[in-house]
Amino acid sequence: MKNQDLKSGNLYIIATPIGNYNDISKRALIILNKVDYILAEDTRKTGILLKYFKIKKKLYSYYEYNEKKNSTFFLKKIKKGHNIALVSDSGTPLISDPGYRIIKLCRQKDINIIPIPGPCAAILALIISGLPTNRFCYEGFLSHKKNKRIQRLNELKLENRTLIIYESTHRLLKCLHDIKKIFGKERYIVLIKELTKKWENIYGNNVSNLIKWIKLDLNRLKGELVLVISGYNNSELNNYKISPKIIKTFLLLKKELSTKKAIQITSDIFSIKKNLLYKFYIKKKY
């Protein structure tokens, strides 16, 4: 606990689980129990979370369409000394979720804002993607409108930082086709699904093969997902670590099979690009 956690007139921004309720922090539970009330994106969904943790607290709705009106209203309450928590349906509020307006207002009025850290799908996807994490670029959701989506992708085409995009199941293929058209069929993408949940899954390949892989089994479209996209001109050979396990598998297969076949099987097993392994093979001259 920080000393500030005990004072009054605070706005707490609390991250909540993105699938696995065990990911809620101890501090999040303490604060949720302590505040006067909670602002929630969807009071029904947050109600389920609170019930699970046996927290009884008044919930108010705070979402895209009432953000403006409610921000001013709750700012006055905080000024009077109320402690308020803001949560979204899942993960970190404000990351493709409501909250920006009230934070902006509170900053202008010098109100104490206390972040309570926790899960964020974008960050979890990035750290397991195997793509460079030293510089990255969060794009959230691309527009539903094709023209706007294409325009944004054109602006991002030469972005050389790793890109993170949120997408929904029913727009995934459309989005991947647009990426293929604009970024080129070789652009490497990692599709990460159902983080922290039972069917958590990761698959990486160039966009062309990724589309083919999904079409082989349309169940692969299902679930919550994040796309982590290699930046433009990112020399994957330099940035992508070919682990000792991959090398060992490749060398064992190569004893029995042709180089081409050994590369193909190794890349299938570890979901890595064939030409990445091939370049690696040429460079090391195994």
> Do 61 and 84 meet the contact criterion of CB atoms below 8 Å apart?
no
| Interaction of residue 250 with ligand SAM, rule CB under 6 A | no
Using the rule CB under 6 A, is 162 a contact of ligand SAM?
no
Q: Closest separation between CB of residue 119 and ligand SAM, Å?
A: 6
Q: Is 102:111 a contact under the CB 8 Å cutoff?
A: no
**Which tokens sit at 129?**
């993607």
Residues 256-285 within binding reach of ligand SAM (CB under 6 A): none
What backbone phi and psi angles, to 5 degrees, belong to 8?
Answer: -110, 165
107's CB contacts (< 8 A; 6+ apart) are: 113
Residue 143 in contact with ligand SAM, rule: CB under 6 A: no
Residue among 165 and 246 whose Cβ is closer to ligand SAM: 165
Q: Is 90 in the site for ligand SAM (CB under 6 A)?
A: yes
Contact 115, 13 (CB under 8 A): yes
Which one of residues 12, 62, 166, 240 is an interface residue with ligand SAM (CB under 6 A)? 166
Q: Which stretch binds ligand SAM (CB under 6 A): 84-92, 143-151, 248-256, 277-285?
A: 84-92
How many residues touch ligand SAM under the rule CB under 6 A: the total is 23
- Label residues 182-199 b or e (16+ Cβ within 10 Å = b): bbeeebbbbbbbbbbeee
- For ligand SAM, the binding residue among 40, 116, 195, 276 (CB under 6 A) is 195
- Between 77 and 197, name the residue whose CB sits nearer to ligand SAM: 197
